[in-house]
Structure 1
Amino acid sequence: MTKVILKRKIAPRIANGHPWIFNNEINNIEGVVTPGDIVDVQFADGSFAGRGYINPQSQIVVRLLTRKKEEINTAFFYNRILKAWHYRQKTGYIENCRLVFGEADYLPSLIIDKFNDYFSIQTMSLGMDKWKPAIVKALEQIFNPKGIYERNDVPVRELEGLPQQKGFLSAPFDTTIEINENGLRFMVDIQNGQKTGYFLDQQDNRRAIRHIVKDADVLGAFTYTGTFEIHAAHYGAKRVLGLDISESAVAQANNNARLNGLENIVQFEAMNAFDVLKQWVKDKRQYDVVMLDPPAFTKSRENIQKAITGYKEINLRGMRLVKNGGFLVTSSCTNLVSPELFLQTIAMAAKDARKNIRQVTFRAQASDHPIIWGMENTNYLKFLIVEVSDI
């Protein structure tokens, strides 16, 4: 087997369990390099570091799959996926969940979302993509699914020399699926929806608003298909208005409202939230609760400052729209923005808005997206509720 020998001075994260090995951490490679193949990795002293797949075209040259001298084969992937399923069963994520969360489940670059008996998968690196037949076979053996769909229409694959593509990995099926979450019904479009079709990572956080929205006038921005807003209506809000720039998302959100019999309480409109919130601040509109769930503002470290500016501005506007003593619910899914930096940004927004804030809750994503200490990319979602009052 081809061997990758690491330099003597490498980031301690590799010894501490992180699976990524960058080009500048490699001293030399012994043997033939075939992109996507399995290689052994050794520390400079000759000791075994792990076994993983290689792609010299990628910025991350090697992604480790195991720290043991075990064979990487079809059985390996079956056992890893089964272990991931056992974890979800133990933690209560059974019906709809992220079954495999990449590095957090020791399967780098693999995402599998489970929606009832249907599965949506992403293989975002060459090495993982080569094992797609083994992954599909494992899902068939463990779950006997009604359908498997590939959502590999993500730009990150191009960095690995892979095409963007999507399609059935099983017999064709109706890709619009109804799921249940917290006693509510939602339609999931796993063929055309964002990411794998639905944001499962907020499912626990959507329950966290249940007390603050009772009898409230609620505004939600960046609603996508309306999950937070429909939860607010379900939990007793008087009125809920949701905004999203996508007309198709708004149509789906209004359908979801009707599906739950809440269309008289919650409505959705296609608007650019950035522009609308700015204008509504000028108009002195006020809400008991404002909820913000914007998309990631950056995918690269070079644009972090731009992302911080965006988060600060949108939260400043949100706070100014909250009545004295009301609540701001805000999130960030940008993994490059640390939890500490996110809270600092909210504090700066409060200062500029001349508001006092009092933390109600601060948490990460649902536990079916487990966090591995030392792997910052697994601790990506920040969810915050604060009470907002005048200075």
Structure 2
Amino acid sequence: MTTLLDLAPEKPATRPSLFGLDREGLRARLAEDLGLEPKPAKMRASQVWQWVYGHGARSFDDMTNIAKDMRSRLKETYSLARPEITERQVSSDGTRKYLIRFAPGIEAEAVYIPGVGRAGALCVSSQVGCTLNCTFCHTGTQALVRNLTAEEIVAQVLVCKDDIEEWPSSRDDRKLSNIVFMGMGEPLYNLDHVARAIDIISDNEGISISRRRITVSTSGVVSEMQVLGERTDAMLAISLHATNDELRNELVPINKKWPLKELLDACRAYPGTSNSKRITFEYVMLDGVNDSDAEAKELVRLLRGIPAKINLIPFNPWPGSPYACSSWERIEEFADIVNAAGYASPIRTPRGRDISAACGQLKSESIKQRASDRRKSASNPAA
């Protein structure tokens, strides 16, 4: 089911948003803008934080433990407006995809997948477009527009929690338990904003998603992997997809800069890696390209000594793609070899394929036919 929201573009907010500030940043902002002394500023920041991220407050009027005159000052000074959802699609399997407009021409997609992790996972974007040009990935066919800010990354989580009605964050029957940075873009090319967003998302007085349930996927930006681990303590996923440099240079061109040996050495050195904190290696199954028994055995050899889990991902087709998905029988035979070597190798069930929300299918609507154009065409076939 697809819901197309025909919303008139909102006027740019004249008041700054409070999303995307860490606790110290929020305290400093309130102190500077409202002239608060350090102790009152810290207290107000804590109250606002809990209302925004713990209760999903959409208005300062909802913040009932703050005096009315202070609420008025906050309302006059700041905005709690969410970004515009220009399209919301719901798959037959319950997956939800949001096309979110942060500014004119600045759109990205986020995907909520129920039943993943402890309860459900949100796949967030860190960039609009991508620079990596991985040949099996639809997102890679869209040129990079810009990095998303910490505010815009966190807003994707708020939009999802609004839609699945998961406020307050402290409720026992949570539907969102995991965050994965596996949407549009390469997170490690936007590490400052990704790290700040993780600090906000994991804060236990707000959204409160454990860092052990936040996974950052990289195609292999080796220079930033150590920094990611030290700054965020997040789980690491590697978009691997090949067992030799020649093929990986084709599938994941960043391999030309950081080849497999350098990438796997960085994995072995990733902070905190252990049998209880394994690195996930993502391996898309491409028919006749990377799915032979020999490649399964080589994959096992390459990962020897790295606490690892291997996610086998059936290729998700998109228009114009040069690849086909391996047969289910071939994927299972590949998985058997990896499992026999002692590695967990779950086969990821494709989710949201019917709304192009599956792994590798995300692409901003800013370069697709507009939803409004589609509706006009449907109502006026002659056009």
TM over 0.5: no
Q: TM-score, normalised by structure 1?
A: 0.30
| Structure number having the greater helix percentage | 2
